[in-house]
Chains A and B, each alone.
Chain A
Amino acid sequence: MKTSNASMSEGVEVIIVEGEIDMHVSPKFRDLLLNVFKKKAKGVVVDLSGVPFMDSSGIATLVEGLRWSKNEGTRFVLAGLQENVSHTLKLSKLDDFFEISSTQADAISSIG
């Protein structure tokens, strides 16, 4: 898994993840997410368009983001979900709890 983070002018933090998110890398993904939430941005976007697979630890880590966003009043939007990841999220019955945009640009503009 490779990750990068960029601060956008709209006050939005974007996290780009590439590769599979499983139990080995979820702790690293959580650390990154936690650090980004500490920046107290208006919104946090996680671009998952480069993630072909996510197991339940990845979903549970996204739930962490959701919890922090509620606590901090920060918008939290997932973007570019591949079919497989979208399916996993649906099966966990948690898809309705997340804000989901089809692209990173859509996600940013939905916050701005």
Chain B
Amino acid sequence: MRKTYNGLVASDDVTCRFRKGKVTVILGGSGSGKSTLMRQVVGLEKPDSGTVHFGDRELTSLSRAELYEYRKKMGMLFQASALFNSLDVFENIAFPLREHTKLADQVIRTMVKMKLELVGLRGVEGLMPSQLSGGMLKRIGLARAIIMDPEVVFYDEPTSGLDPISAGVIDKLIVDLNEILGVTSVVVSHDIESSFKIADWIMILFFGKKIAEGTPEEIQSSEDPRVQQFIKGSPEGPIPFTRTDKDFYEDILIP
């Protein structure tokens, strides 16, 4: 896939495969094109060129209505959890079922309880999002992401902004749900420690390009200095601090 915004290349001919039933982590720094890549994969944006395949279907050529149908097979956990502030926990999780199905109220109630049990939060149905901690909000977001029994779950930076314990809980949930439900998981992250814990497969993006992929062990032993700089979180190395090639002196003095 290739995607540019105002001449800036956000996805530079990236090819990726997400293995069925496995956890794939897309790692990269801020502005490396992780979110852009995910938005194209789920069909929120069309690539300038390239295709997206889900099973035997090609998603970029689907109509809006067909894509809407397809998205029911995908669950998404957004970075800010994206819960409705005016709805309680129960209605937030039930929302996709009310939108897409004709299930009876009592059946929906049971399904919400089943998902809350999976994320370890049964009993908070009546609380409002404002009454929940950051870690709990993520878990509620996750219960909503899996309420339709999706085949693939996408996680956008699931542990960012969480304390280490809450982050550990989310990591464990991602792995457990992957094993229990057999779903394919795609995680966009810049959290190195968490990624190495949960991933079956890691891809590293750098300025829109895929620079490495492999098992966590393969990535760890990569000799690519860009990979080593990223996983060690070092400010010094081939990954530059600034994005522009333009000389600072010229940039300031020449209008």
A contact residues vs B (CB 8 Å cutoff):
23-24, 26-27, 30, 55-57, 59-61, 63-64, 67, 91-94
**CB closest residue in chain B, given A23:** B101
Are B106 and A27 in contact (CB-based, < 8 A)?
A: no
- The residues of A that contact B114 with a CB separation of less than 8 Å are 56, 59-60, 92, 94
Chain B, interface SS category: helix
Chain A, interface SS category: helix
A-B contact count, CB below 8 Å? 47
- The residues of B that contact A93 with a CB separation of less than 8 Å are 117
Complex CA gap A56/B115 in Å reads 9
B252 at the interface (CB under 8 A from A): no
Complex CA gap A44/B114 in Å reads 24
Complex CA gap A23/B102 in Å reads 8
Complex CA gap A94/B149 in Å reads 17
B254 at the interface (CB under 8 A from A): no
Are A23 and B100 in contact (CB-based, < 8 A)?
A: yes
Complex CA gap A100/B122 in Å reads 26
Min CB distance, B85 to chain A, in Å?
26
- The residues of B that contact A91 with a CB separation of less than 8 Å are 180-181
B104 at the interface (CB under 8 A from A): yes
Min CB distance, B242 to chain A, in Å?
49
B86 at the interface (CB under 8 A from A): no
Are B149 and A64 in contact (CB-based, < 8 A)?
A: no
- Interface positions, chain B 96-146, Cβ under 8 Å from A, are 97, 100-104, 106-108, 110-111, 114-115, 117
Are A57 and B117 in contact (CB-based, < 8 A)?
A: no
Q: When the two chains form the complex, which single residue of B107, B115, B180, B181 contacts A26, counting CB atoms closer than 8 Å? A: B107
Query: Knowing A23-B148, A91-B180, A93-B117 touch, does A56 contact B103 (C-beta < 8 A)?
Result: no
Complex CA gap A23/B72 in Å reads 11
Q: Which of B106, B110, B114, B180 has the most CB of A within 10 A?
A: B110
